[in-house]
Amino acid sequence: MSDALKHECGIAQIRLLKPLEYYKEKYGTAFYGINKMYLMMEKQHNRGQDGAGFANIKLNTAPGDRYISRIRSNAAQPIQDIFEQINGRINDEIKANPEYSEDVALQKKNLPYVGEVYLGHVRYGTFGKNSIESVHPFLRQNNWMHRNLIVAGNFNMTNVNQLFNNLVELGQHPKEKADTVTVMEKIGHFLDSEVQKLYKKLKKQGYSKVSASPIIAEKLNVAKILRKSSKNWDGGYAMAGLLGHGDSFVLRDPAGIRPAYYYKDDEVVVVASERPVIQTAFNVDFNDVHELPPGHAIITKKSGEVNITQILEPLERKACSFERIYFSRGSDAEIYKERKMLGRLLMPEVLKSIDHDTINTVFSFIPNTAETSFYGMVEAAQDELNKQKNDAILAEKDTLTDARLQEILAHRLRTEKIAIKDVKLRTFITEDSSRDDLVAHVYDVTYGVVKPEDSLVIIDDSIVRGTTLKKSIIKMMDRLNPRQIVVVSSAPQIRYPDCYGIDMARLEGLVAFRAALELLKDNNQYDIVEKVYEKCKLQVDLADEEVKNFVKEIYEPFTDEQISDKISELLCDTDVKAEVKVIYQTVDNLHKACPKNLGDWYFTGNYPTFGGNRVVNRAFINFYEGNEGRAY
């Protein structure tokens, strides 16, 4: 993606099902869990570079021994920073106490982070400060082992204010209104309540507090706690948690918006945000890694018993399609095929834009996530070139000479690496205030491969704000003096804010929205804007389930192609000499390419939860009133 977006997070959870001595004997180290967690977090660094966190629980520790460890970092390379600190502490302890080096029992008792239950998180901050306090996992501490709660997630809630008020009504005093805190405190409230109820029952049966503790651990109903906690959650989430005594869970939202995958054998239970992360870290087959069903939780008890349990009634499946287009690692077998198909399905429109002249066309891509779609587009272009060769041979078959045949067959598809990305520079482009100044220098171009009569077709995975295209890419491409620049987006036009993960809270930041407004002005229909505003204002006090997305009316007078053409105008400065055309994927083709991930609300405005309509309603009011506040 050429535009800089904050987005998703990644979770990783490991539960070792054997004693640590088992891993020492089989794999040569009791640090097996730590090593695997490092791999899983590093393989998900694409999902978050603003911060990283790691937590660990030791099972069956004696009173007085530390059984919870947590470390977080918001350093420039947070994953490396965390594990350098972990390794440093372990090595220092072993150096000071050589007897620990081969004694697993002493390692577990005395070394931090050595245990059986692990939770890791990589973070992209969707909004707010990137302070260490914002980095997951979050920890809720208590002297009762069962009431200790560690939470990390890949999520955004649309109804944080409501959840916050619910906590206040329960008599709590949350320290802030962030969705992570409100979610954790909600789970913590019902965890406290469940532990208290169990203790009261056991006390009546004559158990002391000490003797009741292991029975509470055994009988604690995690599914019940999650059902009560998540009853009013509205958003997309994969929520992971550890309880102090050793139970663990990952809960997925009922529409399946956020991803979660798991793997289990007799040694481990593993959960991650992406399938290939588990495949690579544990060297297992694609078919051995399963998707956690929407509305379900994978719950692992301290005993090692594992259950996949329905927590919430599943809704219509609306798994995020942007996961497939951009966020997730392209090494997933399904995602790789889908991205190639996204490129292939664009080819008919591309051919139309170049008048089927594949000889005088150079095909390329904007690094790095558009590369796979580029391969699909090139395969389709090669099919077209083969057809052209076949037609030429048939048309000239009666007069065809060997020299002419060789001339026809010699035609090759022209593919080049035109855009070159300066990765180091890109790392620092995070704040809106600095992005525009630096964005023009993120890409360079390859000179000498484009002729003045050529069309230059360049594919990106998506065009959101259009900032990088306007300020950098199109101008850089124009330096090559092509006749025409065709910019292709493997994703459809992004028209609506997202409130479930991507940082797209403001409508006016979306180039498709700006293009629609310009078309309304051009066609003397701008009064629609005020009418939509009035409809949105009338919905402010309605319940979420009653709110409708009237912002769709902004786009209704125009075809997709009209909006794309207007975007082409908006992205071109007057000094650009080449003709510029922007082509977007259609929503129908998106669904063909990604049939299991039909979440398309940013393209269609069809939000999977009621809270989404309230967010787009507020976003439009903010736009109309010139309010730069967030819609959620």
Each residue of 278-326: pLDDT tens digit? 999 999 999 999 999 999 999 999 999 999 999 999 999 999 998 888 7
Instruction: Name the least confident of 45-49, 53-57, 270-274.
Output: 45-49
Q: Which residue has the tokens 């604690």?
A: 220
Q: pLDDT tens for residues 24-36?
A: 999 999 999 999 9
Q: pLDDT tens for residues 244-269?
A: 999 999 999 999 999 999 999 999 99
Rounded Cα distance between 579 and 568, Å, is: 9
Whether 427 has a pLDDT exceeding 50, the answer reads: no
Whether 174 has a pLDDT exceeding 50, the answer reads: yes
Question: How large a percentage of the chain has pLDDT more than 90?
Answer: 75
The DSSP secondary-structure symbol of 61 reads P
Q: CA end-to-end span of the chain, whole Å?
A: 24
Q: What is the mean predicted confidence (pLDDT) over 13-18?
A: 98
256 vs 210, higher pLDDT: 256
Tell me the pairing of strands 261-264 and 290-291.
antiparallel
pLDDT of 441: 61
Q: pLDDT tens for residues 186-207?
A: 899 999 999 999 999 999 999 9
Alpha-carbon separation of residue 137 from 43, 54, 147, 502 (angstroms): 18, 7, 16, 20
Question: Are the C-beta atoms of residues 495 and 605 closer than 8 Å to each other?
Answer: yes
Query: Which pair of structure tokens corresponds to residue 551?
Result: 């912002």
Question: Are the C-beta atoms of residues 34 and 82 closer than 8 Å to each other?
Answer: no
What is the pLDDT of the chain when averaged over all its residues? 90
Position 505 confidence tier, pLDDT thresholds 50, 70, 90: confident
Distance of CA 275 to the CA centre of its chain: 13
pLDDT of 165: 66
429 vs 453, higher pLDDT: 453
Position 425 confidence tier, pLDDT thresholds 50, 70, 90: very low
How crowded is residue 70: how many other Cβ atoms within 10 Å of its Cβ?
19
Nearest to 422 by CA among 447, 443, 395: 443
Question: Are the C-beta atoms of residues 385 and 358 closer than 8 Å to each other?
Answer: yes
Alpha-carbon separation of residue 58 from 13, 18, 115, 166 (angstroms): 14, 13, 4, 33
Position 167 confidence tier, pLDDT thresholds 50, 70, 90: low
pLDDT of 97: 96
Question: Are the C-beta atoms of residues 286 and 275 closer than 8 Å to each other?
Answer: yes
Q: What is the mean predicted confidence (pLDDT) over 213-231?
A: 94
Position 521 confidence tier, pLDDT thresholds 50, 70, 90: very high
Q: What region, left, alpha or beta, does residue 495 occupy, with left being phi > 0 and alpha being psi -120 to 50 degrees? A: alpha
Alpha helices in 396-526 (DSSP H): 402-409, 423-427, 432-439, 467-468, 474-478, 511-522
Q: What is the chain's Cα-based Rg?
A: 27
Whether the predicted model's global pTM rises above the 0.85 cut: yes
pLDDT of 168: 58
pLDDT of 499: 85
Q: What is the mean predicted confidence (pLDDT) over 389-406?
A: 93
Alpha-carbon separation of residue 424 from 7, 33, 242, 427, 429 (angstroms): 19, 32, 36, 5, 10
231, 232, 233, 239: CA torsion to nearest 10: -30
Domains, in order of start, for the chain:
7-316 (3.60.20.10), 321-623 (3.40.50.2020)
pLDDT of 426: 42
pLDDT of 237: 93
Position 430 confidence tier, pLDDT thresholds 50, 70, 90: very low
pLDDT of 176: 56
Whether 423 has a pLDDT exceeding 60, the answer reads: no
Residue 490, SS3 per DSSP:
coil
pLDDT of 50: 83
Whether 228 has a pLDDT exceeding 80, the answer reads: yes
Whether 571 has a pLDDT exceeding 70, the answer reads: yes
pLDDT of 172: 60
Nearest to 184 by CA among 128, 241, 129: 241
pLDDT of 428: 38
Query: Which pair of structure tokens corresponds to residue 181?
Result: 């805190």
Q: What is the mean predicted confidence (pLDDT) over 402-414?
A: 92
pLDDT of 431: 44
Q: pLDDT tens for residues 99-121?
A: 999 999 999 999 999 999 999 99
Nearest to 60 by CA among 143, 145, 142: 145
pLDDT of 619: 95
> Residue 379: what residue type?
E
Q: pLDDT tens for residues 319-370?
A: 999 888 877 888 899 999 999 999 999 999 999 999 999 999 999 999 877 9
Q: What is the mean predicted confidence (pLDDT) over 61-70?
A: 93
Rounded Cα distance between 395 and 389, Å, is: 10
Angle at 611 between CA 164 and CA 499, to 5 degrees: 90
How crowded is residue 606: how many other Cβ atoms within 10 Å of its Cβ?
17
pLDDT of 139: 94
Residue 371, SS3 per DSSP:
helix
Greatest mean pLDDT range, 76-80, 129-133, 522-526: 522-526
Whether 632 has a pLDDT exceeding 80, the answer reads: no
630 vs 552, higher pLDDT: 552
Residue 390, SS3 per DSSP:
helix
Rounded Cα distance between 384 and 550, Å, is: 42
Whether 435 has a pLDDT exceeding 70, the answer reads: no
User: What backbone torsions phi and psi does residue 249 show, to the nearest 5 degrees?
Assistant: -155, 160
Q: What is the secondary structure of 284-315 as a DSSP string? A: --GGGSEEPPTTEEEEE-TTS-EEEEE-S---
Alpha helices in 263-370 (DSSP H): 275-282, 321-322, 333-345, 347-353
Helical (H) or strand (E) element with 238: strand 235-243
Whether 39 has a pLDDT exceeding 90, the answer reads: yes
